[in-house]
Amino acid sequence: MSEYIPISNLQLALSVILVVITGLISAFLKLGLLKPLVWGTVRAFVQLTLIGYVLAYIFELNNLLLIVFIILLMCFIASREATRRITKTSYNPWLTSFISLTASTFLVGFLVVVIIISPHPWYSAHVAVPIFGMLLGNSMNAIALSLDRMHSEIYSHVDQVEQLLCFGATPWEAVRHYVRKAVAAGMTPTINALMIVGIVSLPGMMTGQILAGMNPQLAVRYQFVVMIMIAASVAIGCLLIVGLSYKKMFDEEMALVDFVQKD
C-alpha cells in the first residue's frame, strides 16, 4: 500500500470553502444557521488542533494514571452532555448517566484493549484513548436517546401507569413496556449502522486507515472490532441507564413523581 497523503496548510484552508458554500445556502434561504455554522467550524478547528497536541503529549508520556484520569474526565463531560437537554425529569440524571457511561465504557474498553488488540504495554495510550473515545461518543448518544424516550413514554402514559399501580403492580411492572421501548430507541442507530456497514457506508475509522495507507483487509478487521464493541457498550449503557433511572421516577410510596422542567 502507498503511504498516506499529507494535508498541507493550504489544502486545509481550501476545505473551508465547503463551509462557505453551506453558509451561503443558509443565508440565501434565511435558515438562521450561518452564525452557528461558522462558530461550530471555528470551535471544531481549535478543539481538534489542541487535542492533537494534547494526544501527542499523552502518547509520549504513556502513563497509566494519566490515561485513567483522561478517560474519567471524558466520561464526566460525556455524561453532562448526554443529560443536558433532558428536561422531563424530577431528578438530576447526571450521576446515573456518569455511572452508566463509565461502567459500560470501562468494561467493554478493557476487554477490547487488553484481550483483543493486546498492545504492549497493555495500557498503551495510542490504543486506549481512541478506543475509549469512540465508545463514549456512541454510548453518550444512545444513553441520551434512551433516557429521553423513557421519560417521554412514561409521562405520556401517566394514566395507564398509575392505573397499574393502583391494581397492585410494582413500579417495574407498570413501566417495563415503556422501558423496553426506551432501550430499543437507544440501540436502533447502532443496529442500523451494523446492517449497512460496508454496503451503504464506509465508517470513519476504516476510511481513515485506508487513507493512511493501510491494507483495506486489515482496516476491515479493525472496523469490525470497533462496530461490535460499540454495539456492546451501547447495549450495556442503555440497560444500565434505564435500570438505574426508572426507580427514581417513583417516591417511597411507589407513586409516580411529577416531573419538573429544568432551566
Cell for 220?
A: 476491515
254: DSSP letter? S
CA distance 56 to 35: 32
Residues ≥6 apart with Cβ < 8 Å to 176: none
Please say whether the beta carbons of 73 and 222 come within 8 A.
Answer: no
Q: Are the beta carbons of 150 and 242 closer than 8 angstroms?
A: yes
- Whether 225 contacts 206, CB under 8 Å: no
pLDDT tens by residue, the chain, 263 residues:
456 677 888 888 888 888 888 888 888 887 888 888 888 889 988 988 998 999 999 999 999 999 999 999 999 999 988 888 776 666 778 889 999 999 999 999 999 999 999 998 989 999 999 999 999 989 999 999 999 899 888 888 888 888 888 888 888 888 999 999 999 999 999 999 888 887 777 777 777 777 777 888 888 888 899 899 999 999 999 999 999 988 888 877 777 776 544 44
Spell out the domain ranges in the chain: 1-61, 63-249
Are the C-beta atoms of residues 114 and 128 closer than 8 Å to each other?
no
pTM above 0.85, yes or no: no
The Cα–Cα gap between 205 and 49 comes to 19
Take residue 206 and report the three cell numbers written for it.
Answer: 476504516
